[in-house]
Structure 1
Amino acid sequence: MRLENKTAIVTGAGSGFGAGIARRFAAEGARVMVADLNEDAAQAVAKEIGGIACAVDVSRNADVAAMTRAAQDTWGWIDILVNNAGTTHLPKPMEEVTEEEFDRVLNVNAKSVYLTARHIVPLMKAQGSGAILNVASTAGVSPRPKLNWYNASKGWMITATRAMAVELAPEGIRVNAINPVAGETPLLKSFMGEDTPEVRAKFLATIPFGRFSTPEDMANAALFLCSDEASMITGVAMEVDGGRCI
């Protein structure tokens, strides 16, 4: 029960890594808001873990404001924020990515971190504590060809994590990131371009452990970084990647 009496918002928690993190947080005693663009998926996970669901487009200021108000109205305070929601463009030469695709990737992966900070950081400052976790990617450390602007958005998240950490440390707020390698999530096919045994084998060949990451892998790392056990850790971007970035 490492998160007993803690409250947590997890974005993109209707599936994949976010759902794994939400499940683990709830199992460890946290009260969890499952926030997702897909309201039905959010409701399903929330019902499973005894949490609350919130339909939110994390790239929209009004949606993030409403999500924050809902958490405040329910709990009165917010201990943990996990910025997990993310998206990508399909693998292609950088000059072929459309402006619409570029805007979508940067809005969901980068602007969302700004928007949640804008609304939630003041609350954490007022209470003198908080833990923020940004789910970045190994792509932000060791970029893959033809995912150029996705890579850049995750590199942005890593730098934002460090900048937030150094500014918010005097306020008692810790900010860390995890860098997953690709996993069995709804985005896997988009990363690979196509899901065939041959493409999977080529992708897995770049991971020394020889397997994709799982929601449980991310949940274990997230639990540690957001718990009091990590009270002296801030500004870290932890690779959870089976050796991909070595």
Structure 2
Amino acid sequence: MDVLDMGVVVTGAGHGIGRAIATTMAAHGARVVVNDLDADAARAVADEIGGHPIPGDAATEAGVSALIDTAREHLGAIDIYFANAGIDLGTGLDTPAEDWAKAFEVNLMAHVRAAQRLVPTWLESGSGRLVVTASAAGLLTMLGSAPYSVTKHAAVAFAEWLSATYGHRGVTVQVICPQGVKTRMLDNAGPLQELLSRDTALEPEQVAETMWQALQDDRFLILPHPEVQGYYEHRATKTDHWLAGMRKLQGRLDLRGSRS
């Protein structure tokens, strides 16, 4: 896939996976808009890669509209939108309602709102691409974080619906579903850090390279950790067995927590 001179937007691009995606796309000749809530980080990355910073909230309705409108003014057209920004809030049943709402805003509604603004234009032009950074949690689950698991499942489900509904009309939809990646989120994962790193914690640049390879064949599921494919198939075909294994893992986490 040749992205030379394409207009690209990457949300949450001030750090981690988003930064790596923005860097990769710019290296291949795309014109990149760098978005992040952290304005200083957005400007720093944009300066580094020759991109254009548009700091702001990529989750709220007003924030998404402002980002897309401003990006279109700069780029002319948005050919690829990387909905990368995400958040990990709360733990289990004790998670406050406001944290659940925030998780849905950032991890799901940000994608919905972006699609509402982007897809009609892409249908008119006959092409466009939405790439959602979800998580292996969106295919499996995330022990210790109910809001993250539920909202990432919802993100994958929405992406599937978009692909099924508009894929035949030129709109390509893909989801990136890594496990452990060496980002600030992993650093703050506490006792889950070891579990998330079970199949090797990847550098953000490795995730971006897998993403780049996936752009070449339009595959829906982008799996930087190949092991996730097997876990996903096992979950689908032997659900009770898979859940039994997850309960064992949770038991180990409970035991570890009682000792600390």
TM-score range normalised by the length of the shorter chain = 0.7 to 0.9
Return the letter of the residue paired with 1:171. R
TM-score (norm 2): 0.83
Cα distance in structure 1, aligned partners of 2:74 and 2:196 = 43
Q: 1:184 aligns with which of 156, 179, 182?
A: 182
Structure 2: gaps spanning 5 or more residues: 231-260
Aligned-partner SS, 2:167: helix
2:147 aligned to 135, 146, 149, which one? 149
For residue 222 of structure 2, give the secondary structure of its aligned residue in structure 1.
Answer: strand
For residue 190 of structure 2, what is the amino acid of its counterpart?
G
1:18-70 deviation digits (Å, cap 9, x = unpaired): 00000000000100000111111000000101110111212211111111111
Structure 1 range deviating more: 46-55 or 2-11: 2-11
**Which residue of 224, 227, 239 maps to 2:223?**
239
Quick check: which one's strand share is greater?
Answer: 1
Larger radius of gyration: 2
- Distance, in Å, in 2 between the alignment partners of 1:47 and 1:30 is 15
Superposition TM-score, scaled by structure 1 size: 0.87
Partner in structure 1 of residue 190 of structure 2: 193
User: Where does structure 1 differ by over 3 angstroms across 4 or more consecutive aligned residues?
Assistant: 199-203
Specify the SS of the correspondent of 1:9.
strand
* Cα distance in structure 1, aligned partners of 2:193 and 2:164: 39
Say which structure is richer in helix: 2
Alignment of 1:157-176 (within 5 A): 157-176=155-174
1:133 paired with 2:140, answer: no
Partner of residue 117, structure 2: 119
The alignment status of 1:67 with 2:51, answered yes or no, reads: no
Give distance in 2, aligned partners of 1:28 and 1:186. 26
Give ranges in structure 1 of 5+ residues lacking alignment. none
Shift of 1:171: 2.3
Indicate the structure whose relative CO is greater, using CA pairs within 8 Å and at least 6 residues apart: 1
Correspondences of 1:199-238 after superposition (within 5 Å): 200-204=193-197, 206-207=198-199, 211-226=200-215, 229-230=216-217, 233=218, 236-238=220-222
Percentage of pairs with the same residue: 29
* Counterpart for residue 26 of structure 1: 26
Contact 2:7 2:76 in 1 (8 A): no
Size of the aligned set, in residue pairs, is: 230
- Mapped to 1, the partners of 2:229 and 2:102 lie a distance apart of 26
Contact 1:129–1:173 (8 Å) recurs in 2: yes
